[in-house]
């Protein structure tokens, strides 16, 4: 955490208390960042943390890509019904990418190459579920995760869908993971330490008797799929301050039972809860602005 007499996060080289200190109404320094300050900050964040702060042009590109990802996600979720397979959802989403002139980022991503265009994570699957011929059935919950590359920029988001009537345990993780995401977004603005995100998420999840997965994290995104910084959803000691121009995801994975994930040894992707209990996740890509934040992936619950 920075102190009142430390240099401000904004790149002005002034003391924080004289610059963007949040609780003092009349700042000695103007609130708007100058071009020089922006340049100082960009250099500092790249040197210190390898975090790429985005300029206006990049932000506009990422915003467009995020809107497309959210649109594909909403349409795919609408289709999810009992009897339909996750492969059919994948094929629908894949086609929508191509028709929009976009590339599905998961396809052939990583090692071993991810074999499909979206992730579909059912019930006890925490994340990175591979679409296959499994039909959805009443009582299932499924996370659908869409990341598109549009005009070179990445937008990453995911949502849960409930198929028919679901158990109280599945309802709980679905609601708690949504609330964790939205509560952690609410606090986002320049000057807060990155650790606040995990603090808000873990406090809420544990208050509801759920656990927070710590083997997967949110991430910087926009110019690349997985950029710095990592965004842990658990309590942590990362002091990096949020600053304007950061674009990253928050994507809390919340379990009804233990937090531990086990990765499928055969496909090397599918991550399941160790105890087989339900898990849920929602994801947004967010931009830090000069006054707060903007949710770039405008899907609707």
Q: Which residues bind Co ion (CB under 5 A)?
A: 145, 156, 158, 249, 283
Residue of 33, 120, 147, 177 that binds ligand MF3 (CB under 6 A): 147
- With contacts defined by CB under 6 A, name the span among 59-67, 107-115, 260-268, 271-279 that binds ligand MF3: 107-115
Q: Are 147 and 69 in contact (CB under 8 A)?
A: yes
CA angle 235, 237, 240 (to 5 degrees): 115
Q: How many CB atoms lie within 10 A of CB 288?
A: 23
Q: Are 278 and 173 in contact (CB under 8 A)?
A: yes
- Tokens 């330490």, located at residue: 193
Binding to ligand MF3 (CB under 6 A): which residues in 216-275? 249, 251, 269
128 interacts with, out of ligand MF3, Co ion, none, CB within 5 to 8 A per kind: ligand MF3
What is the β-pairing status of strands 293-295 and 279-281?
A: unpaired
C-alpha 62/C-alpha 41 separation (Å) is 20
Instruction: Select 45 or 248, whichever has its Cβ closest to Co ion.
Output: 248
> Which residues have a Cβ under 8 Å from the Cβ of 286 and sit 6 or more positions away?
185, 188, 247, 248, 249, 250, 293, 294, 295, 296
For residue 5, the minimal CB distance to ligand MF3 (Å) is 38
Q: Which of 9, 92, 114, 178 binds ligand MF3 (CB under 6 A)?
A: 114
Partner in contact with 122, chosen from ligand MF3, Co ion, none, beta carbon below 5 to 8 Å by kind: none
Complex with ligand MF3: residue 236 or 270, whichever CB lies closer = 270
Choices 7-15, 26-34, 103-111, 174-182 (CB under 6 A): range interacting with ligand MF3: 103-111
Nearer to ligand MF3, 9 or 248 (CB): 248
Q: 56-79 and 86-99 are packed helices; what angle lies between their axes, rounded to 10 degrees?
A: 140
Of residues 12 through 71, those in contact with ligand MF3 by CB under 6 A are none
Residue 110 lies near ligand MF3 (rule: CB under 6 A): yes
The SS3 of residue 63 is helix
Q: Which does 22 bind (CB under 5 to 8 A by kind): Co ion, ligand MF3, none?
A: none
| Residue 57 burial by Cβ neighbours in a 10 Å radius (0-12, 13-18, 19+) | exposed
Residues 197 and 239: beta-carbon distance below 8 Å: no
* Residue 209 in contact with ligand MF3, rule: CB under 6 A: no
Q: With CB under 6 A, what is the number of residues at the site for ligand MF3?
A: 13
Binding site for ligand MF3 (CB under 6 A): 106, 109-110, 114, 119, 128, 145, 147, 156, 249, 251, 269, 283
């Amino acid at each position: 955490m920075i102190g009142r007499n430390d240099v401000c996060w904004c790149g002005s080289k002034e003391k924080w208390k004289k610059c963007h200190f949040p609780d003092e109404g009349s700042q000695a320094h103007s609130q708007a960042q100058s071009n020089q300050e922006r340049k100082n900050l960009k250099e500092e964040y790249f040197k210190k943390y390898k975090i790429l702060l985005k300029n206006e042009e990049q932000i506009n590109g990422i915003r467009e890509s995020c809107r497309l990802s959210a649109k594909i996600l909403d349409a795919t979720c609408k289709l999810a019904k009992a009897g339909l397979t996750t492969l059919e959802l994948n094929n629908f989403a894949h086609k929508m990418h191509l028709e929009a002139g976009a590339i599905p980022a998961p396809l052939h991503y990583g090692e071993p190459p991810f074999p499909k265009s979206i992730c579909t994570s059912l019930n006890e699957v925490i994340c990175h579920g591979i679409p296959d011929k499994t039909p959805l059935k009443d009582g299932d919950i499924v996370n659908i995760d869409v990341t598109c590359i549009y005009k070179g920029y990445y937008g990453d988001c995911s949502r849960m869908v409930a198929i028919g009537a679901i158990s109280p345990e599945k309802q709980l993780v679905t609601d708690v993971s949504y609330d964790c995401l939205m509560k952690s977004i609410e606090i986002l603005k320049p000057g807060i330490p990155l650790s606040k995100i995990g603090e808000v998420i873990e406090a809420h999840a544990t208050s509801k008797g759920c656990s927070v997965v710590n083997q997967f994290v949110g991430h910087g995104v926009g110019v690349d799929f997985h950029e710095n910084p990592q965004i842990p959803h658990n309590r942590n000691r990362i002091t990096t301050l949020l600053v304007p121009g950061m674009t990253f995801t928050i994507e809390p994975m919340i379990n009804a039972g233990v937090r531990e994930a086990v990765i499928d040894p055969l496909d090397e992707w599918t991550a399941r809860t160790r105890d087989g209990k339900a898990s849920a996740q929602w994801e947004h890509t967010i931009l830090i602005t000069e006054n707060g934040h903007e949710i770039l992936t405008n899907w609707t619950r």
